Amino acid sequence: MGYKLSFGEADRIFDSLQKEYEIWAPKRFVGKGRYSDTDMIRYDKIHRADEIEFNEKSDFPAKEVLTPITETLFYFTEDEYRESKATKKKLLIFMRPCDVHAKYHQEKIYLENGDFADSYYQRMSEKVKIVLMECGEGWDTCFCVSMGTNRTDDYAAAVRAEDEAMFLEIKDEELAPYFQKCASARFTPSFVEENPLQVTVPEIPNKEVLTELKRHPMWDEFDKRCVSCGACTLACSTCTCFTTSDIVYQENSNAGERKRTSASCQIEGFTDMAGGIVFRNTAGERMRYKVLHKFHDYKARFRDFHMCVGCGRCISRCPELISIAATVDKMAAAVDEITASQKAEGGK
């Protein structure tokens, strides 16, 4: 069913919904951007329709609702522990199509990668209902069409905001009663069909080409350009790496809490192991790892899609203006070069 409601009507419905749901959406934090006089847009609990930022892409992805940058896993004393509590309410999350696809990748990593599911992710994921936010024309760093993530039908409701009103499609039976008194209106979301930014992800034909690609000089440029800050992975819709640490309370050093905090493969020390072993010493090696993970290794492991959803958030966040889209294009050229050289070698 489709509806049109004013922001005032939406606020009244949000009031009712909040007895059962936490409502999360991208919200503008004025003056909190990383440059002076700039804003930051990130996910937060909202209570009113005018708190939702409909017109710009968020700087940080929807994944932060389910996996915050830092969270407590459990509390411990000398001889016992207690798991942290998750919210009792269901979660209504406003998401763009790329975030919906990113959730699919997160589920693969947290719930289906190995013999056990991550219970902390699972307890949140089970509560989610998605409100799909229409993107209009998209933004200058998006390349969702190239990655096939511009469309989805996996949502409980879809929304377009126009002139202080919302057009909604409600698919979910549990949500429908909240809207039954609203004016009917025809609405189904439209999707971005073309981005200004396009990316050609190369097919890496065999292991020999992959090995040569790892040795290719294209990665060396990042030794100079990338400052290994990790901003790209923190903003990434699909990165899942985290580290754990114990916070010990001052009053009783046998009591404390274990936290997990997002980690970045782009930061020096990420691969440090006991015995002084380090797998990726340079920024170029770390960039190579990230790019191949997003555009080759994940798909080789799960045999469905590339991990990157083309949200472009890493491009927007990088202080050194490093574009993953341009890097993938360079990788495509390098794969062509290596393949041609192997063919020439084979023909000799």
Contacting residues toward ligand SF4, per CB under 6 A: 226-232, 235-238, 266, 294, 308-314, 317-320, 322, 324
CB of 97 to ligand SF4, least distance (A): 12
Secondary element (H or E) of residue 166: strand 165-170
CB of 95 to ligand SF4, least distance (A): 14
Q: Residue 197 to residues 134, 321, 336: CA-CA distances in angstroms?
A: 19, 15, 21
Tokens of 155: 């949502």
Q: Which residue's CB is nearer to ligand SF4, number 175 or number 204?
A: 204
Count of CA atoms in the C-beta half-sphere (13 A) of 236: 25
Rounded to 5°, angle at Cα 179 from 175 and 182: 165
Q: Which residue's CB is nearer to ligand SF4, number 103 or number 317?
A: 317
CB of 313 to ligand SF4, least distance (A): 4
Q: Which residue's CB is nearer to ligand SF4, number 170 or number 232?
A: 232
Checking DSSP bridges between strand 165-170 and strand 2-6, what pairing results, if any? antiparallel
CB of 129 to ligand SF4, least distance (A): 23
CB of 151 to ligand SF4, least distance (A): 16
CB of 35 to ligand SF4, least distance (A): 15
Q: Which residue's CB is nearer to ligand SF4, number 26 or number 256?
A: 26
Q: d(Cα 154, Cα 221) in Å, to the nearest integer?
A: 40
Q: Which residue's CB is nearer to ligand SF4, number 127 or number 290?
A: 290
Q: Measured in whole angstroms, how far is the alpha carbon of residue 300 from the centre of its chain?
A: 20
What residues form DSSP beta bridges with 162? Answer: 165
What residues form DSSP beta bridges with 74? Answer: 83, 258
Amino acid at 61: P
Residue ranges of the alpha helices (H) in the chain?
Answer: 7-17, 63-66, 97-111, 119-125, 144-147, 207-215, 221-225, 231-234, 283-292, 298-302, 313-317, 324-347
* The CA-based dihedral angle spanning residues 263, 265, 267, 268, taken in that order and rounded to the nearest 10 degrees: 120
Q: Which residue's CB is nearer to ligand SF4, number 238 or number 339?
A: 238
SS3 271: coil
CB of 347 to ligand SF4, least distance (A): 37
Q: Which residue's CB is nearer to ligand SF4, number 205 or number 319?
A: 319
Tokens of 61: 């992805």
Q: Which residue's CB is nearer to ligand SF4, number 204 or number 232?
A: 232
Secondary element (H or E) of residue 25: strand 21-29
Q: d(Cα 16, Cα 134) in Å, to the nearest integer?
A: 24
CB of 310 to ligand SF4, least distance (A): 5
